[in-house]
Amino acid sequence: MLGIDISGWQKTISWKAIADAGIEFGFIKATEGTDYVNSAYAQHRKAARRLGIPVGAYHFARPDADDGPEAEADYFLEVAQPRAGELLPVLDLETGGLPPNALARWAKRWLRRVEKRIGQPPILYTYSSFWTSIVGNAPGFERYPLWLANYGKDDGKVYPVRTVGSWPSIAIHQYTSKGRIAGWDNPVDLNRLKRGWTLDQLTVGAEPPPSLGYGPPWKLMAKKEVLHEASRLDAAFLALAAEQAKAGGTATIRGTLRER
């Protein structure tokens, strides 16, 4: 499946032309830092939905600014307003400004903040050389689907790509920045859904679980780090524990059983 991602540089691109080109999903830039909103976000979102093309919103991270990841996550959520049936929100991480360990912690804090709102792990976007060199090839992000930019010769063709960090696989491969859409004069980013992944796996659930209050008594922990908190031990919470185990991690569930 082919996908596209657009920002403020493609304000007037036609979603009819996108659909005619065989594009089946897309991501739209919503925000950057805590002071930029893509003024075309809402209209692109509406146009894509009208044509039945699943889309999601992405946030361009600015860890080099002083507001912090929680403030950026809240700003993004206020603008993007992710809904059931849309693609998962995305953290676009391609700006440094912090040491590798601090940058990895910054990204994880943003991702967790958004996850608490929607009840699902959001997507992380980055490019291969940035993650390996600027983020130090940081492990521990396996629960967040990876959208990886790696262009090869960047001539519009697909070249082999390897995953980074400790991700077992790539969910979405951005394979060129020089894609072409009939009726649009400028190049666009093109993506492909990788084998083993479906759009259903990358879609906001129909019922983000309001019952998960993210407080005591239940905690999913790894190496004394709290990965997830919930007000009850339910199927969604146990699924997160299973996901952690499948990714090769270790986890401890702490809590108190109570009679109903």
Over residues 156-179, the pLDDT tens digits come to 999 999 999 999 999 999 999 999
Residue 257 has pLDDT above 80, yes or no: no
Q: What are the residues facing 91 on neighbouring strands?
A: 59, 124
Q: Please check whether residues 148 and 228 belong to one and the same domain.
A: no
Cβ-contact 213, 197 below 8 angstroms: no
What is the model's pLDDT at position 106?
Answer: 97
Cβ-contact 60, 75 below 8 angstroms: no
Q: What is the pLDDT of residues 33-55, one digit of tens each?
A: 999 999 999 999 999 999 999 99
Q: What is the pLDDT of residues 201-219, one digit of tens each?
A: 999 984 443 333 333 456 7
Q: Please check whether residues 241 and 131 belong to one and the same domain.
A: no
Q: Please check whether residues 56 and 12 belong to one and the same domain.
A: yes
Residue 260 belongs to some domain of the structure: no
Residue 7 has pLDDT above 70, yes or no: yes
Q: Please check whether residues 84 and 187 belong to one and the same domain.
A: yes
Q: Please check whether residues 105 and 228 belong to one and the same domain.
A: no
What is the model's pLDDT at position 232?
Answer: 59
Q: Give the pairing of strands 252-254 and 218-222.
A: antiparallel
Q: Please check whether residues 15 and 61 belong to one and the same domain.
A: yes
Of 21-30, 110-119, 228-237, 251-260, the one with minimum mean pLDDT is: 251-260
- Rounded distance, CA 94 to CA 66, Å? 17
Cβ-contact 144, 110 below 8 angstroms: no
- Rg for the chain (alpha carbons), in Å? 18
Q: Please check whether residues 243 and 175 belong to one and the same domain.
A: no
Write the CATH number for 177: 3.20.20.80
Of 77-81, 103-107, 122-126, 217-221, the one with minimum mean pLDDT is: 217-221
Q: Please check whether residues 173 and 58 belong to one and the same domain.
A: yes
- Least Cα distance to 78 among 36, 119, 107 occurs for 36
Residue 251 has pLDDT above 50, yes or no: yes
What is the model's pLDDT at position 221?
Answer: 77
Q: Please check whether residues 126 and 182 belong to one and the same domain.
A: yes
Q: What is the pLDDT of residues 58-68, one digit of tens each?
A: 999 999 998 89
What is the model's pLDDT at position 254?
Answer: 74
Quote the pTM value. Answer: 0.79
The rounded percent of the chain whose pLDDT value lies above 70 is 86
Range of the domain at 151: 2-202
Q: How many domains does the chain have?
A: 2
What is the model's pLDDT at position 167?
Answer: 96
Name the DSSP class of 123: E
- Rounded distance, CA 109 to CA 249, Å? 19
What is the model's pLDDT at position 244?
Answer: 74
What is the model's pLDDT at position 209?
Answer: 39
